Structure formats: structure tokens, C-alpha cells
Structure 1
Amino acid sequence: MEMKTKQNLFSGDDEATWKRRWKMMYASIAGYAMDGLDMLILSFVMTAIIKEFGLSFAEAGLIATYTLIGAVLGGYIFGIMADYVGRVKVFSLTIILFSIFTGLCAFASSLTELNIYRFLSGLGLGGEFGIGMTLVAETWPAAKRARASAGVAIGWQMGAVLAALLSALVVPHFGWRGLFAIGVLPALFAAWSRRGIPEPDIWVNRKIMKETIQQKVAQGEALTESEQEFLNKANKFPLTHLFANPRKSVTTFALTVMTSVQNFGYYGIMIWLPTILMQKHNLTLNKTTTWMVVTVIGMVIGIYLFGQFADRIGRRPAYITFYICSAAAVWGYSVLNDPILLLIGGAVLGFFCNGMMAGYGALLSEHYTTDARSTAQNFIFNSGRAVGGFAPVIIGMLAAQYTLNGALVILAFIYLAAAVNVFFLVPETKDSKLD
């Protein structure tokens, strides 16, 4: 029986290996930046869309919710596809998909049409996070895995800054439609950046092993106990790996709670805070853009330091600390009124609430095998998006009855509950070897 040669492109410590690792990271950063651009464009043009279509807060919030529903479904579909046919192939497909439908949003003639395009763009957006994080987690060394996934997470913030800058430059001259049209160009660039990127060694070699064992079966050869066990696991539907036994099921549930809190907090804050600043504090779009940029700078610093913290101290201590500090930051921000304090407070809010994005790529990868790693990343994170997708509409409904500031205070209690969840249910996986 002929055995294919195993791939060995990412296991060394030489210059060529690191060059490939960095290229993988750059491509993942570019893709996740386009996710951030696509999603955050909406927050900057929400006021204009509300005015053009005569929407209520709740109806406007549903635009973001439809996008996130698409992201959830796309995450499930493309995550499973990436485990079967390869991470890189599916990775490029997701970007092309959401870039096309983001551009079509510029031509929407009704709210229904806009919601359809946002849903379809969300399908592509949903697959991006888990596949990009999986690629980096499977190609970078364990000791630097959280820092590597932090690098990818910073890509989203780069997209958010780009959304803010494009909003300030484009909306005054071409309106919200022009912003969606121009948003297609950087997305296509991200797809182009993936040319020539190889699949991770661990995925390629596991595929070779599976094909080799299947060839033995086809030739009527007996399998060893370890080969039979390997084949049984490899032939399982990827999603079933997440619930293989009671302990794994509890872990999957706990990780889903974490990503739900992350997404609920992020979308609740970032979709509505620009509107709060414009309506309650009478800030212009340009001044709101300044707030957004400062907040994103806080996020980038938080992500960078969280990655360092998680690699050096551990995943559990990092998350528990940031959850508690996020609760304090959200409550404190809700009572601020001074413009300077709002600016500083935005940076602090971003530092803690979104700094935790650094760890999910590493954390989720370390709990599941290569047969289901991309599925796990996308299923768990996008299930969190399913919950977080209701944040814009829930906060919009509460704001209609109370105030937007008051509606955000509930996030403080959610972050505290998340800290308890990590303490009791999430095992430590620092320095874990992927299999």
C-alpha cells in the first residue's frame, strides 16, 4: 500500500516556517477586518436608514439581527465544510459571498430588500471567524497561540476603524448607499490576499491518515485497534464531536455561554452607542467617528494584552478578570455625561469588553480535535452570535420604554454571570497540544 508523504510546513522554527505562519495570520487578519467593516458600517448609517425608511428603534435593530441570523447559519454551514474539504478553500468562498451582498445593499429599495441582502451577506460573514481562527491556531506554536489569535481579533478592529473613516468621508457626499457600495472593494482585496496559502499540516496529515486507513479497508486488510478508533472518530459527523460525552457537552455549553455574552455585549454597545452619542449628547457624525476610533484603540490594546495574559497566566484567570472589569466599565459608562469622560470611558469600555476576543480562537481550538475544530469554532461562536443578535433589538425595545443608557446597564450583570460560568465550568487549556 502506497502511503502519501506527510506535509511538514508549519512544525519548524526556521525562517521559512515563520514566514508561512505570518502569511497565514495576515490573510486571517484581512478577512476578519472585512467582517468588522461589513458589520460596523451599519452602526454609522443607522440614523440615515431610520430616516429614509421611517423606522422605529426596534425595526432598525432588526436589520442587524437579520445579518447575525445569516451569520449563524453561515457559520454552521461553512464551519462543517471547512472540516471536510479544507479551511483555505472555504475561507475564500466566505469573503466573496459577503462582499457581493454587501454591495447589493446599496441598491435596496425597501426595508425588506435591505434585510434580505444583509441576511445573505451574513452567511459569508459567519464562516469567516471560525475558519480564520482555526488556521492560525493550527499553524502557530502552543506557547503563542492566544497571542496569535489576538492578532486575528485585532483585524476586526482594523475593519471597525476603516468603517469609521469611510463613513466620515463617504456618507456626507454619497449617503449610506455609497458607503455600502465602496465597502465591496476591501473585501475583494481580502479574498485576493489568500492566494497560495497552504492548508495546515495537522488537517492535511489527518486527511492522509484517513485515506490510508480507508485504502486498507478497501483492500481487505485488518485494522489495528488504534486505526479502527481513529477511523471511527474521523467518520463521525463533525458536530457530534462537540457532544461526544457529558463532560464535553458541558464544556460546549459553557463556551457557548461565553461567546453569547461576548456577542451580546459587543453588538449591544457598538450598534447603539453611536446613536446614543448623536441623540443624547448631540454629537455630529464626525465627532462620533472620533469616539469610535478612540474606543477601537482601547479594544486593540485590550486584545493585545489579553493575548499576553492568556498565554502567560492561563485562559481562565484572563477571562474571569476581564469579565469582572467589563461589568464595572459598563456600569460606570452609563452614568457619564462629560464629553471628555465619554471619550476616555469609551476606550476603557473597549479595552475590557472586547479585549476578550483575543482568546476565543485559542480557547475553542484547544477543546476539540482536527476532525471538528472548524465546526466547533463556528458553531460555538456563531451560536453566541445567535444570542448576541438579539442585543440590538432588545436594547432598542428597552430604549423605547426607558433610555438607551439605562438599557445598557443590564450588561454589567451579564458579564458577572459569565465570570461565574468560567470559574465553575470551563477547564484550563493553556499550552495544550492540538490533535
Structure 2
Amino acid sequence: MTHTASTPPPGGRVPRPATETSGAGQLAARLERLPWSGYQRKLLLVVATAWLFDSIDLASLTFMLSPISTEFALDHAQAGLVGSTSFLGMLVGAVVAGALADRVGRRRVFQWSIIVWGVAGIALALSWDFSSLLAFRFLLGLGMGAEFPVAAALMAEFLPAERRGRGAAILEGAWPVGFVLAGTLAYFIVEPLGWRAMFVIEACLALWALVIRRFIPESPRWLATHGRYAEAEQIITEIEKTVEATTGKPLPEPAGPVITTASGPERGGIRDLFSPSYRRRTLSLWAVWFCILLGYYGLTTWLGGLLTERGLDVIHSIQYVLLMALWGIPGFLSAAYLVERVGRKFCLAGYTVASAVAAYAYGQAGDRTELILTGSILQFFFFGMWSALYAYTPELFPTRSRGIGMGTATAAGRLGAVLGPTLVPIILNAAGATAVFTISAGLFLIAASVVVALLPETKHTVLEDISG
């Protein structure tokens, strides 16, 4: 039976007719009743570690662009293009990987995304001119863009409703940690060994794909949507045995099969995202991601720049940016707590509004002390916002289209990430640095308004009950 295409009522809730319980619903009920144990913690650790390695790769260009520009004699426009090429690769990678994850499975695409950025890291270390640098940076972005949305979809389908938001928020917490680690590695490696050695070391982290192959099974929910119930049954049975052995207690009985309209293989894809049931949800998420990333990357381009304008040299500017980034760690931890307390919707909206206020304050800061103080507050709310966004987005799409839904939403954001640094010089010339932060604050407020007005709450709700 296919999904019923009906228009969702206000709040974006997808109507679900009372139908017979399906094999997919029974499997979901068995997953949901599993107690939290070392098994889920291990899954989360393996995926979060891959996310961390990817974050190190993404952040490293911040610290290596200067020596790369020096070696290849890049002007400002060419250096900016190197950064934008990464985001263009991430845009393409997110869409392609999302579609593939819905067709061939989450685990396989997740694993290959890591291999792609590992190979790209080696290739970057061998770059011989500006054109090869752009090509390999695009390839690296392709792998990174593929990994983030697929990892988020994978974890959403394994974790129970009571822990799902917190787990996804912890995944995104790898970003500030990765940023700090990238800066630390660059500090110790780039000067004695050169920037090429940094990329080689990062590429070695791709060996984590072998760990993923051993410890991460395919999503039973994805298997069920493709009618592969025997495989899903086998995986869930193995998980149940592992959890029982870990906890030393018999498992509780499932509360009852999850009622679902998915009684057999279903067709998802991009058309599913624009069905009457999901059109508003899809477009709203695209707008939210676009506004947040346009504001975020347009703004962060100039975090260090304003510090140098206040008299700091480049080295001290990098040190202060790293110091401010450390505040992202308590930021994502607070969001990981609040997404399960106040809910995804208002947690995301709250952190986004707070980011808008902090961004405006940073742009108005008058001296170095004010910049560092407001910048630290800004990083705290930024990473709380990111964590809530990654926790919320994969829950709003059905399993059959979760990969492409997550992929296209993040791709809309990457489009903003490409445009942000490009538009900043135009705004600077026309209105000055303060206007950059004021416009970013306005974009955050628009995103928060869309979340509150158009998207539903998903706290402690089974995935099948959110999306059908």
C-alpha cells in the first residue's frame, strides 16, 4: 500500500489513516522498545567519530589556505574560489548521496563517502597547480557532503524516539571539536612538514571506513521499506541478542506494532518530497537551511577579519578564533539536553534567534574585549543551532525518502554557503562590515520564523508516526 497523498493540516503533521499493521511497523516497534545500552552507545560513537574526522577535513582549510595561497601565488579571488569549490562539492555530494542512500542503503553510501574524501585528501597533497587544487577540493567536498546527511539519517533510524534527538545533536557536536583539532594539528604540522602533510594525515583517517563496515549494520527501517523483511528481521534479532547480553536483562515486550501505511516496498525519491503531504515541509526546510548557512558562512568569513582590524596579527587572530570556537562545545551539549526537554522545534528556533542577537552584537562591538566576549557567545549559540537543526531535519521525512530529503535540505544550505562568502565583499563595499552581521542576523530571524510557523514538533515521537 502506498503513502496516502493528503494535504497536511496546520503544523505540518502528515495525516495517517488507520490501516493494518505491517511488517515494517512490527520491526519499528521492536527497535523502539530496546533499552538504552552499550550497543547504541557504540553505534553512536562509531558514527560520531567518522563525523569528527570529516569535520577536521572541512575545518582544516581555514588554517591551510594561507600557505596554499603562498605556494601557488593565489590572489584573493582564487583563494576564495578554493573555499567555495568545497561547498559546491558538498552540495552535489549531498544530493547524490541522499538519492543513493534511499536506493542502495545507508551503510554502503556512508562507507563510500569516507573513502571518497580519503582518496581526495591524498590527491590534494599531490596538487601541482591551481586547476588540480580546485578539482581535488571539489572531490573532497563531494565526500564530505555525502557523509553528513547520510550519517544523520542512519542514526535517526537506529535510535529510539526518547534518545534520537540527543544522539543527533551529539553528532553535530563533533564539528566544534573537529575545528579545534584541525587548528591544533595545523599548528604542529604545517610549519615543520608543510600543508601537504596535513592532507595526508587527514586522508589516513578514512581507514575508519573499515570500522564502519564491521560495526554498523544496514538500517532495518530502510530494508523494510524495500520489502527486505528477512534481512531486517535478522539484523534486529542480532541487535536484540546483543542488547540483552549487554544489559543482562530480558527485553521488554514491544508496546505494539507501529501503525504504518507502509505494507510493502514503497517508491520515494524527489517526487515524494513534493507530494501534497510533504511539499510544505520540504520547502520550509530548504528555506531554513539556506538562510542559516547563508548567514553563518557569510558571517564566519569575517570573524577573524574584524579581530585583525582591531590590531591583532594573523597568528593571534587564529588563536582567538579557536578560543571562541571552544564555546561551541558547551553550546552543542546544552542543545543535546534541550532537544529532548523543550522539543526540536522551539530548541532550534530559540538557538537561531539567540544567534541572530549575538551576531548583531558582534558586528556592533567596539573593541577587542567586546569582540572576544560576543564572539564566544555567538559560537555557543551557533553550535546549539547546528545540533538542533541536524537532530530535527531527518525526522521530518519518511524512511523511503529520508536520504534524498536530508540531502536536498543540506544542499540548499550549501548553496547558501557558496553564496555567503561571495556576497560579503559586495556588502562590505556598499555598507561596511557592520552590515554583514546585521544581514546575517536578519537571515537567522527569517529561519526561526519559518520553523515556528510551518514545521511540526517531533519530540519523543516514533519516526513512522511523524512521517508515515
Same fold (TM over 0.5): yes
Rounded Cα–Cα distance in structure 1 between residues aligned with 2:57 and 2:301: 12
Instruction: Choose which of 180, 185, 196 in structure 2 pairs with 1:166.
Output: 185
Aligned to 1:332: 361
1:240-389 aligned at under 5 Å gives the runs 240-245=271-276, 247-278=277-308, 281-285=311-315, 287-389=316-418
* Root-mean-square deviation (Å): 2.9
* Between 188-197 and 382-391, the greater mean CA deviation after superposition: 188-197
Q: Which amino acid aligns with 2:290?
A: S
The residue aligned with 2:235 is: none
2:225 pairs with 200, 203, 206, which one?
206
Label 1:288 to 1:100 Cα distance change in 2 as closer, same or farther (>3 A): farther
Distance in 2, matches of 1:190 and 1:227, equals 34
CA offset at residue 350 of structure 1? 0.8
Equivalent position to 2:111, from 69, 89, 92: 92
1:371 Cα deviation from its structure 2 partner: 0.7
Aligned to 1:186: 205
Q: Deviations over 1:87-139 (max 9, x none)?
A: 11111100110121123222222222111111111111111111111121111
Deviation string, structure 1 residues 287-331 (Cα, Å, up to 9, x no partner) = 334323322222121222123222211222222222221111111
Matched residue type, 2:455: V
Deviation per residue, 1:59-96 (Å, 9 max, x gap): 32221211111111111111121122221111110011
Q: Percent identity?
A: 27
What letter corresponds to residue 389 of structure 1 in structure 2?
Answer: V
The residue number in structure 1 matching 2:58 is 39
> What one-letter code is carried by the residue in structure 2 that aligns with 1:385?
R
Rounded to whole Å, the distance in 2 between the matches of 1:414 and 1:205 is 39
**Structure 2 counterpart SS, 1:366:** helix
Matching residue of 2:270: 239
In the superposition, relative to structure 1, how do residues 19 and 206 fare at CA in structure 2: closer, same or farther (>3 Å)?
farther
Q: 1:282 and 1:204, CA in 2 relative to 1: closer, same or farther beyond 3 A? A: same
| Corresponding residue number in structure 2 for 1:219 | none
The count of aligned residue pairs is 414
CA distance in 2, matches of 1:277, 1:180: 28
Name 1:13's counterpart in structure 2.
Answer: 34
> 3-state SS of the aligned residue for 2:194?
helix
* Pick aligned residue for 1:106 from 114, 118, 125: 125
Tell me whether 395-404 or 31-40 shows the greater mean CA deviation. 395-404
Distance in 2 (CA, whole Å) between partners of 1:409 and 1:82 is 38
Cα distance in 2 between the residues matched to 1:271 and 1:125: 20
Deviates more, 1:401-410 or 1:132-141: 401-410
Indicate yes or no: 2:136 matched with 1:117: yes
The change in CA–CA distance for 1:271 and 1:180 in structure 2 (over 3 A counts) is farther
Equivalent-residue separation in structure 2 for 1:73 and 1:54 (angstroms) = 28
CA contact (8 A) 1:361 1:377 kept: no
Q: CA deviation at 1:191?
A: 5.1
Distance 1:58 1:331, change over 3 A: farther
Point out where structure 1 has 5 or more consecutive residues left out of the alignment.
213-225
Q: How far apart, in 2, do the equivalents of 1:38 and 1:399 lie?
A: 29
CA contact (8 A) 2:352 2:447 kept: yes
The range that moved more, 409-418 or 424-433, is 424-433
* Letter aligned with residue 411 of structure 1: S
Q: CA shift at 1:333, angstroms?
A: 0.9
SS at match of 1:371: helix
Distance 1:292 1:184, change over 3 A: farther
Gaps of 5+ in 2: 1-22, 232-258
Task: Identify which range, 3-12 or 382-391, moves more after superposition.
Answer: 3-12
Q: Indicate how the Cα distance of structure 1 residues 7 and 138 shifts in structure 2: closer, same or farther if over 3 A, else same.
A: closer
- SS of the equivalent of 1:427 reads coil
